[in-house]
Structure 1
Amino acid sequence: MSTDLRIGPDGIARCAWVGDDPEPDTAPRPGAAEYRRYHDDEWGRRLHGDRALFEKLSLEGFQAGLSWITILRKRPAFRAAFAGFDPAAVARFDDGDIARLMADAGIVRNRAKIEATISNARIVEGMDDGELDALLWSFAPSRPRPRPRSLGDVPATTPESDAASTALRTRGFRFVGSTTLYALMQSAGMVDDHLEGCWRAAADG
């Protein structure tokens, strides 16, 4: 078995980034159980809808420079703070909301990222229904790549994520670099980077 796979306490092989701690989460690798749930139930599954994709885009932007488990464990607080990532609601946030968010210890208190999320929401609010979904999915590869055998086979960016980043930047979106966009593409199922031997790879074919 590849060293980039892990057998969990349930006997199932998964991509190694989920960790291998037993339930419940315990030191020294807290978060592994949450990572397993995310890996099994969300990561790589096709996701559609402007609101859902705006949330993904926003959280991936907040993740820049941080570990994804930090964002994942704060996701309930993010959802509460950002009105469930309803673009119409977030687009109406003002200076008072920015002050509220900067005081919210439950989220990542980075002013540039907070302001970018609000700015991005205003752009989405000005788009037609379904337009963000169609735009992002237009950059999904037309044919799947060979399934990666190791984490080293998984790219950080691709020509498609480069193009998606350029398209969003042209529209005025912020915190949408190519690495962020590729992470979104992985998470939203536009690409499938579950490793060969992972149970999800076998289940998805």
Structure 2
Amino acid sequence: MQRLLAAPGIIRNRAKIQATIANATIALRDHGGLPDLLWSFKPDDTPRPRTVAQIPTRSTESAALAKELRRRGFAFVGPTTMYALMEAIGIIDTHLMDSHRRATSGIWPH
């Protein structure tokens, strides 16, 4: 813990570090693992923003995912954080419609 609190490359918040360590120990393998759980919250459609102001920061699915993770004992997993995770792994595509990055994950069509 002390080493992590002194690490300049991370957010040095004791509660978040403790939550990260605790989250890493939650057993999900018997239930398909974390990837299966995350992907079970993939929406039927993805946002199609044309401006930065139209990019959502949360969704019904990210709220449901956060609720399920909290039910399983995870901490610091709110709807906005889960939405960012969903963006990062490609469950949703929030790149602007005219962006060269739109649909590059191969999961969602342009």
TM-score interval (norm. to shorter): 0.7 to 0.9
Distance 2:88 2:103 in 1: 18
Shift >4 Å, 4+ stretches:
none
Counterpart of 1:116?
19
Please point out which of 13, 23, 40 is paired with 1:138.
40
Q: Considering only CA atoms, is the larger Rg found in Structure 1 or Structure 2?
A: 1
1:184 maps to a residue whose letter is: L
Contact 2:62 / 2:83 at 8 angstroms: preserved in 1? Answer: yes
1:165 counterpart residue number: 66
Does the alignment pair 1:106 with 2:20? no
Query: Which residue in 2 is equivalent to 1:184?
Result: 85
- TM-score, normalising length: structure 2: 0.86
| Secondary structure of 1:119 counterpart | helix
The one-letter code matched in structure 1 to 2:39 is W
Q: 3-state DSSP class of the match of 2:29?
A: coil
Q: Cα distance 1:199–1:174, how it changes in 2: closer, same or farther (>3 A)? A: same
How far has the Cα of 1:100 moved from its partner? 1.5
Shift of 1:111: 0.5
Aligned AA for 2:87?
A: Q
Deviation (angstroms), 1:202: 6.5
Distance 2:79 2:70 in 1: 10
**CA RMSD for the aligned pairs?**
1.7
Number of equivalences: 105
* Offset of residue 107 of structure 1: 2.1
Unmatched runs of 5 consecutive residues or more in structure 2 = none
Aligned match for 1:128, one of 19, 29, 35 = 29
Structure with larger RCO (C-alpha < 8 A, sep 6+): 1
* Aligned equivalent of 1:64: none
Report the residue type matching 1:143 in the other structure. D
Partner letter of residue 200 of structure 1? R
Moved more, 147-156 or 114-123: 147-156
In structure 2, what is the Cα distance between the partners aligned to 1:165 and 1:140?
Answer: 13
Deviations 1:119-177 (A, max 9, x none): 00111xx22174110111111102334x2101111111110001001000111101100
- Extract unaligned runs of 5+ from structure 1: 1-97
Identity of aligned residues (%): 50
Match for residue 174 of structure 1? 75
* TM-score, with structure 1 as normaliser: 0.48
